[in-house]
Amino acid sequence: MTTDTKTNLFDLDCKGMETFFLALGSKAFHGRNVFKWIHKHGITDFDAMTDISKRLREQLHQVAELSLPQLIFEQPALDGTRKWVIELTDGQRIETVYIPEDGRSTICVSSQVGCALDCSFCSTAQQGFNRNLTVSEIIGQVWIATRELGTSPSNIVMMGMGEPLANFDAVVAAMNIMQDDLAYMVSKYRVTISTSGIVPALKKLRELSDVSLAVSLHAPDNALRDQLVPINQKYPLEELIPACREFVQGDKRRKVTWEYVMLDGVNDSLQHAKALIRLLEGTPSKVNLIPFNPFPGTQYQVSPAERVEAFRMRLKRSGIIATTRKTRGEDIDAACGQLVGKVKDRSRRDLRRSEAESLKVNIR
């Protein structure tokens, strides 16, 4: 096997690694061995992989590489949250967040540089969209976090910059690596993908990947959600809710986590709570109420704590599990909706958004 361009082995899940080594004329188990060296042991030097023959190592030097994004800055918060700024090979920057809590370690992973969905209450969305991340750039965030923490994270949430389902293939491959016993061994109940609701991709995800589901809901009716989450105009609640219900069907441990940012005077009344109860009837659900994180230029305000609590209690009385998310990392702009990274060519945002419209539904 010869190639003009070296294959970055960080872009391959275990099955892809086996296929790559078979194409080299080697054995599938050699692919599994290298996969384990990379992800479980954190080795990025072929010559340090002691159970690989010298001949095979020399061959790998010719046709493969182990290329990672680079951690360039770490910013700790007062509550123990840490934000990592990671630079990609083209100079773009993304942000990954570590959240310690109650003996758990959660890593919030980005899937895109910026975001094209333009949710009006999200600071990340206001920065525009540049491009999708590769598998190596997604799993590289977990690799870096594991090295920084000294152990694999117990929870991984695809809730960083970007809409994961708009980068379907790379995200699915990366989540496969996260769960693999030869890599990070994170349980299917502890890998969560968060989506604003690209319904065709959600249906395909159910067939290909066994992970937990969180949905950015933020409104109990189409009229309001159209304003807050514009993708709702393409995939309204009549399509989204049944797709989510189907996603968790057949597993009694599974619930859909509904992310609901509380916006003062917009979506936080008891009438909104009652409408949300009706909307979620028949769907195994947990509602995560999220205090709004203001950013410069936003039109929204934070809901008063007593109104958030009244909203939560109304849901609870109806039998819905409802929690209020504790804001983490707010002092370093690491809280929900605050990640912005370094998105270039912002003056071309309208063009990028137009290009992204086709990307959202281009699920092969």
User: CA-CA distance, 154 to 237, in Å (whole number)?
Assistant: 32
Active site residue 14: no
User: CA-CA distance, 242 to 214, in Å (whole number)?
Assistant: 14
User: CA-CA distance, 7 to 267, in Å (whole number)?
Assistant: 48
The strand pair at 191-195 and 212-216 is best described as: parallel
At 195 the three-state DSSP class reads: strand
Question: Which one of the listed residues 18, 95, 137, 163 is annotated catalytic?
Answer: 95
Question: Which one of the listed residues 14, 115, 119, 336 is annotated catalytic?
Answer: 336
Retrieve residue 356's tokens: 């992204």
At position 53, the amino acid (one-letter code) is: S
User: CA-CA distance, 136 to 162, in Å (whole number)?
Assistant: 16
- Please write down the long-range contacts of 170-175, taking CB distance under 8 Å and 24 or more positions apart: 170/111, 170/132, 170/133, 170/134, 170/135, 170/138, 171/111, 171/138, 172/205, 172/208, 172/209, 173/11, 173/12, 173/13, 173/16, 173/135, 174/13, 174/109, 174/135, 174/138, 174/139, 174/142, 175/209, 175/211
At 62 the three-state DSSP class reads: helix
Contact predicate 110/337, CB 8 Å: no
Active site residue 336: yes
Q: What is the CA radius of gyration of the chain?
A: 21
Print burial letters for 299-316: b (CB count within 10 Å at least 16), e (below 16).
ebebbeeeebeebbebbe
Task: Give catalytic residue positions.
Answer: 95, 336
